[in-house]
Copies of this chain bind each other. A is one copy, B any other.
Amino acid sequence: MSTGELVDLAQQLRVDSVRAAAAAGSGHPTSSMSAADLTAVLFARHFRYDFDRPDHPANDRFVLSKGHASPLMYATYKAAGAIDDEELLTFREKGSRLEGHPTPRQLPWVETATGSLGQGLPVGVGIALAGKRLDHADYRVWVLCGDSELAEGSVWEAAEHASYENLDNLTVVVDVNRLGQRGATRHGHDLDAYARRFQAFGWHTVEVDGHDVDAVDRAYGEALSTRGQPTAVIARTLKGKGVESVQDREGLHGKPLPEAEEAVAELGGPRDLRLRVGTPSPDGAGAPSARRRTGTPDLPRWDKGEEVATRNAFGEALAALGTARDDVVALDGEVGDSTRAEFFAKEHPERYIECYIAEQQMVAAAVGVAARGWTPYASTFAAFLTRAHDFIRMASVSGSGICLVGSHAGVAIGQDGPSQMGLEDLAMMRAVHGSTVLYPCDANQTAHLVAAMADLDGIRYLRTSRGESAVVYGPDEEFPVGGSKVLRSSGEDRLTLVAAGVTVPEALAAAEALEGEGIAVRVIDLYSVKPADRETLRTAAEETGCLMTVEDHHPEGGLGDAVAEAFGDGRPVPRLVRLAVRNMPGSASPQEQLNAAGIDAESIAAACRLLVGEAVVS
């Protein structure tokens, strides 16, 4: 395309952005208009992508970090012939693929869902890491960011990660249109302010007039020829560019243009230029090689009664899984010696990504490598996964398939105190749409669940424990996701204890003590917290009349709620009691902590005695 055609194409993208938002009655046309030239030049001159084959392994990848500029994205798809004008005008309608913010669940050309700002670059870093370190392919990753979102710390976690890994296959284009939602940004049009920050983090930077298509073209060329470091193209633009009544004005964020028809006329009227995007080499040069995605791992085995921490079992099982399958990747937040992800790192260093203490970036990198077909396991302390909650939520919106592993769960960690204790993680992970939540109590169970996670859909979470515990199950036992294990049962059971993880041995010990007193108690190991085994719980309810959940987690959102939810089908509900961590712990030994929280064997037995004596526990 000539310079004149590029200018024309950019105007077409503006026109279609204005039209789409006008048809919807909502959306962000002004945020689209600022970046129209940047996008036109990129797609017409530099981006290599086969719209008919979005899964082509050699395709470049584009991430619209400023997801609210979706009209621009959809206008680009239309120009490229991927969607037609009729579909463009379904923007934001019920059932339309063209959502307010783009997601890959609906559109094959979208790499990751955006709309929560500051996430596109972190995920883009993950895709670029996949290209450079895992696929060894020469696809490039382009990320279009807004200027407002550079206030998010996650952007700087990503900047740090990208330069440390020398990701010269990554370019971020910053659309500095000066205006946020509510008003001006901190730095306005001070491009140097942004350039200084990226340079300090080790990036090459180019400052450019974002409405000068030739200058933008040269800037992208400079990015392509830069070796050894990522490039930030920092572009001065005007929000609402091209329509005098809205251009560079406050108070017009996220609103259709007041006079859409006049605006379209001012932009030169509708056009129907066809954008021909360069395709990657058809012979697959530069594409990654195929990977083994299946394979039966030679899982570690432990004998009943051995004392093993489930975190250790996770590490060993993951290393074994990585040997059986080429697609497994591990990421960790600089605590691999604690989570035991280091066991994998030692055996498969080429598929281990050290994310240092940056949990948002760790989860984003997992989403990025998953987008390229890898199966990531990202681990840190369960408590610190809360740092990445918004990224986990957005991963679910993407339909991303990632495995998360949180170690050091609960008060059972002991002396380190509450800052290190995951006591909210089950609540967080259960509430994620389509998630799976697993909480094993012994080493063999952990190993099987680690392997099973690889083939599930959506967000999968495994909760591991710091301390050693006795192996309860034989190495050949099976643990279907959605299942449970009835560990003690008799026809005389007067109530059922439902436990998971560290509370399983406590529940078993309590049941044993009670048996000596003539009180029979059933014990269920609900290792699959979500989905929960409704049938077994229902049977236990009918046969024993009362379920008592015991969990090393706050009372809200965890095992207790999961069991209650299992009875949310309108049928009769058993009596329900929950033991959980209701205090704010301090420092103490693991056993003292369990006791203080009232979830150790002694406390459980005491609660059972009260309950079967028909006293009310409150």
Interface residues of A, Cβ cutoff 8 Å to B: 24, 26-27, 67, 92-96, 98-101, 103, 105-106, 113-118, 148-149, 151-157, 160, 164, 180-182, 185-186, 196-197, 199-201, 334-338, 342, 354, 356-361, 383-384, 386-387, 389-390, 393-394, 396-397, 399, 415-420, 423-424, 427-428, 430-434, 530, 546, 554-558, 560-562, 564-565, 567-578, 584, 586-589, 592, 596, 611, 616-618
* A196–B186 touching, CB < 8 Å: no
User: Which of A152, A337, A419 has the most chain B CB within a 10 Å cutoff?
Assistant: A419
In the bound complex, residues from chain B placing their C-beta under 8 Å from that of A560 are 565, 568
Give 24 A-B contacts (CB < 8 Å), ordered by A residue: A92-B587, A94-B587, A98-B587, A99-B587, A100-B419, A114-B419, A151-B356, A153-B156, A164-B186, A182-B337, A182-B342, A200-B201, A387-B389, A389-B390, A394-B419, A396-B584, A397-B419, A424-B431, A427-B430, A430-B556, A433-B554, A561-B564, A570-B576, A573-B574
Measured in the bound complex, the distance between the Cα atoms of B571 and A277 in whole Å is 67
Copies of the chain in the assembly = 2
Known: A358-B153, A419-B394. Is A586-B617 also a contact (CB below 8 A)? no
Minimum C-beta distance from A425 to chain B (A): 9
Known contacts: A554-B433, A565-B556, A575-B570. The answer to whether A99 contacts B417 by CB under 8 A is: yes
Contact A96 B587 (CB under 8 A): yes
Q: When chains A and B are docked, how far (Å) is the Cα of A546 from the Cα of B427?
A: 25
In the complex, the chain B residue whose C-beta lies closest to that of A158 is B153
- Contacts A427-B430, A578-B565 given: A182-B117 contact, CB under 8 Å? no
- B-side contacts of A397, CB under 8 Å: 418-419, 584
> Measured between C-beta atoms, what is the minimum distance from A24 to chain B in Å?
7
Q: Report whether A100 and B416 are in contact in the complex, using a CB–CB cutoff of 8 Å.
A: yes
* Contacts known (A574-B573, A576-B573); A149 close to B357, Cβ less than 8 A: yes
A70 vs chain B, min Cβ distance (A): 9
Listed from nearest, the 6 A-B pairs whose CB atoms lie closest are A153-B153, A115-B419, A564-B564, A94-B588, A427-B431, A200-B200
Q: Taking A428-B427, A561-B564, A571-B616 as contacts, is the C-beta distance between A417 and B115 under 8 angstroms?
A: yes
Give the complex CA separation of A394 and B196 in angstroms. Answer: 32
Whether A67 pairs with B357 at a CB distance below 8 angstroms is: no
Q: Is the CB of A557 within 8 A of B557?
A: yes
Q: Tell me the smallest distance from the CB of A461 to a CB of chain B, in Å.
A: 12
Q: A117: which B residues are within 8 A, CB to CB?
A: 357
- Please give, as numbers and ranges, the residues of chain B lying within 8 Å of A336 by CB-CB distance: 182
State in angstroms the CA–CA spacing of A577 and B565 once bound together: 9
**Contacts A100-B417, A419-B113, A588-B94; A431 near B433 (Cβ below 8 A):** no
Cβ-defined contact, B200 with A586, below 8 A: no
The answer to whether A568 and B557 touch across the interface, beta carbons within 8 angstroms, is no
- Whether A428 contacts B424 in the complex (CB less than 8 A), given A182-B337, A434-B584, comes out as yes
Residue numbers in B under 8 Å from A26 (CB-CB): 415-416
Minimum C-beta distance from A563 to chain B (A): 9
- The CA-CA distance from A383 to B427 in the complex, in Å, is 15
Chain B contacts for A575, CB-based, 8 A: 570-573
A396 to B584, CA, bound (A): 9
Give the complex CA separation of A334 and B197 in angstroms: 21
Q: Which of A197, A383, A424, A584 neighbours the largest number of chain B CB atoms within 10 Å of its CB?
A: A424
- Residue in contact with A568 in the complex, picked from B383, B568, B578, CB distance below 8 Å: B578
Flag if A358 contacts B427 (CB, 8 Å).
no
Q: Which residue of B lies closest to A27 (CB)?
A: B415
A119 CB → nearest B CB, Å: 9
**A415 near B100: Cβ-Cβ < 8 Å:** yes
CB pair B415–A181 under 8 Å, yes or no, is no
- Minimum CB distance partner of A153 in chain B: B153
| Given known contacts A561-B561, A564-B565, A587 and B100 CB-to-CB distance under 8 angstroms | yes
Of residues A93, A98, A336, which shows the largest number of chain B Cβ atoms within 10 Å of its Cβ?
A: A93
A418: which B residues are within 8 A, CB to CB? 103, 113, 115, 397
Q: For A415, list chain B residues within 8 Å (CB).
A: 24, 26-27, 92, 100
CA distance A386 to B93 in the complex (A): 27
Are A423 and B433 also in contact (CB < 8 A) when A93-B587, A390-B386 are? yes
A384 lies within 8 A of B182 (CB): no
Taken together as a complex, chains A and B put the C-alpha atoms of A424 and B429 apart, in Å, by 9
Q: Check A181–B337 contact: CB distance below 8 A.
A: yes
